[in-house]
């Protein structure tokens, strides 16, 4: 039987941000600070960096002296390209004995200088975005257990955060629930998963079936979404994941201030209603009774006095519970899941 991608990271982490100016592309670092804060030692920023994780700024030498275990590439730029100026720093870190951890579309060991530095010191080069071998083609056959998938109209909009928060809330409410990671940051947090956007296209739905296999009828898998069926660049991974996950329900992640696809300003985002309807139509292909169970709203950039009105307005528009999982929790989503699927 095929195995999931499994990793063990060596804490504490120094999160490399470089000169990143946009939080959207620092989601790996932000996710680790949010969900594994006890493992984060600090951040390494270059001149011009406008992202601040709220953790100590450390040089490489300071991090080594403080007992750092891993240097984690904390950004995920479009195309996953590491700037040439980073490689000498990575080699220096490897020579100092730090593991180098990457969730990008590259293989660290293919850099001869980095591989040599790691071999000399005994440091590990950890590529998170390596899918399991010999993945199957999706079958589309029904399987036991219950599944929730997080979806959205765009990338970097809260699918991972929502899945993690919802799994925690389900467990706190007494449900048997597991978080299923599909992206590099989720795998770093959970220790296992499938990097869905690195899977050959023919096997995406099969990888999703492997990730969330048949389970006890009362068990819930909360599956981290990837991409978006509306995204001009990343729609394929989202559709394959939707069909392979065969979710009983989905949560739409939404940013009320975002009007266009991030990084693709010439593409306007659909309305929330359009997003829900599209996922219902597409999801019914392999999950005929699929339902939307709520909306996860990122209100972090809204003025405090507008937050509640925004959530109430979206709830009235959709007829669904609308929450910011990091501020409100996911109890309303859990109640909706109970109402929708008890004895279903």
Residue 273 in domain: yes
CATH number at residue 314: 3.40.50.300
Is 303 found in the same domain as 229?
yes
- Phi first, then psi: give them for residue 189, nearest 5 degrees: -75, -45
CATH number at residue 22: 3.40.50.720
Is 178 found in the same domain as 40?
no
Is 153 found in the same domain as 18?
no
- 297: Cβ contacts below 8 Å, ≥ 6 apart: 254, 255, 256, 310, 311, 314, 322, 323, 324
- Model confidence pTM above 0.85: yes
Q: From its phi and psi, is residue 121 left (phi > 0), alpha (psi between -120 and 50) or beta?
A: alpha
Is 122 found in the same domain as 58?
yes
Q: How many CB atoms lie within 10 A of CB 27?
A: 24
Is 172 found in the same domain as 283?
yes
Element spanning 264, H or E: strand 264-268
Is 169 found in the same domain as 94?
no
Q: Which domain holds residue 215?
A: 146-341
Is 194 found in the same domain as 161?
yes
For residue 82, what pLDDT is reported? 82
**Number of independent structural domains in the chain:** 2
What is the spatial distance between Cα 194 and Cα 213, in angstroms, rounded to a whole number?
13
Token pair recorded at residue 38 = 């006890």
Residue 134 in domain: no
- Bridge partners, residue 251, by sequence: 150, 294
Note down pLDDT in tens along the chain; length 344 residues.
567 888 899 999 999 999 999 888 898 999 999 999 999 999 999 999 999 999 999 999 999 999 999 999 999 876 667 888 899 999 999 999 999 999 998 899 999 999 999 999 999 999 999 999 889 999 999 999 999 999 999 998 999 999 999 999 999 999 999 999 999 999 999 999 999 999 999 999 999 999 999 999 999 999 999 999 999 999 999 999 999 999 999 999 999 999 999 989 999 999 999 999 999 999 999 999 999 999 999 999 999 999 999 999 999 999 999 999 999 999 999 999 999 997 65
Q: From its phi and psi, is residue 265 left (phi > 0), alpha (psi between -120 and 50) or beta?
A: alpha
Is 63 found in the same domain as 19?
yes
Q: What distances in angstroms separate CA 259 from CA 189, 226, 274, 276, 296, one per listed residue?
A: 30, 19, 14, 16, 17
Element spanning 60, H or E: helix 60-65
Residues 217 and 27: beta-carbon distance below 8 Å? no
Q: How many CB atoms lie within 10 A of CB 94?
A: 27
Residues 341 and 248: beta-carbon distance below 8 Å? yes
Is 163 found in the same domain as 55?
no
Is 244 found in the same domain as 123?
no
Complete DSSP assignment for 34-59: HH-GGGEEEEEE-TT-----SS-B--
Is 301 found in the same domain as 261?
yes
Residue 111 in domain: yes
Residue 251 in domain: yes
């Amino acid at each position: 039987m095929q195995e999931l991608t499994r990793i063990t990271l060596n804490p504490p982490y120094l999160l490399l941000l470089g000169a990143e100016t946009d939080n959207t592309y620092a989601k790996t670092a932000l996710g680790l600070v949010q969900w594994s804060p006890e493992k984060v030692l600090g951040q390494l920023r270059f001149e011009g960096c406008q992202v601040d994780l709220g953790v100590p700024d450390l040089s490489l030498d300071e991090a080594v002296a403080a007992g750092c275990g891993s240097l984690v590439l904390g950004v995920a730029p479009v195309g996953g390209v590491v700037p040439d100026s980073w490689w000498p720093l990575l080699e220096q870190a490897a020579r100092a004995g730090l593991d180098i951890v990457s969730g990008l579309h590259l293989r660290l060991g293919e850099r001869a200088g980095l591989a040599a530095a790691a071999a000399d010191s005994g440091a590990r080069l950890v590529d998170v975005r390596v899918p399991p071998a010999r993945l199957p083609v999706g079958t589309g056959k029904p399987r036991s257990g219950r599944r929730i998938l997080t979806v959205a109209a765009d990338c970097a909009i809260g699918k991972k955060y929502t899945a993690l928060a919802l799994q925690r809330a389900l467990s706190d409410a007494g449900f048997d629930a597991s978080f299923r990671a599909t992206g590099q940051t989720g795998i770093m947090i959970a220790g296992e998963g499938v990097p869905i956007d690195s899977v050959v296209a023919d096997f995406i739905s099969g990888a999703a079936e492997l990730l969330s296999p048949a389970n006890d009828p009362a068990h819930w898998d909360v599956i981290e979404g990837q991409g978006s069926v509306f995204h001009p660049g990343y729609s394929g991974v989202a559709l394959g994941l939707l069909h392979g996950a065969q979710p009983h329900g989905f949560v739409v992640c939404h940013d009320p201030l975002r009007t266009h696809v991030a990084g693709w300003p010439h593409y306007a985002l659909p309305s929330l209603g359009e997003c829900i309807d599209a996922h219902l139509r597409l999801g019914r292909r392999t999950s005929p009774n699929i339902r939307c169970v709520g909306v996860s709203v990122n209100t972090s950039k809204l003025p405090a006095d507008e937050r509640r009105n925004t959530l109430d307005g979206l709830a009235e528009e959709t007829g669904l519970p609308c929450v910011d999982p990091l501020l409100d929790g996911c109890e309303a989503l859990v109640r909706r899941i109970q109402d929708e699927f008890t004895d279903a």
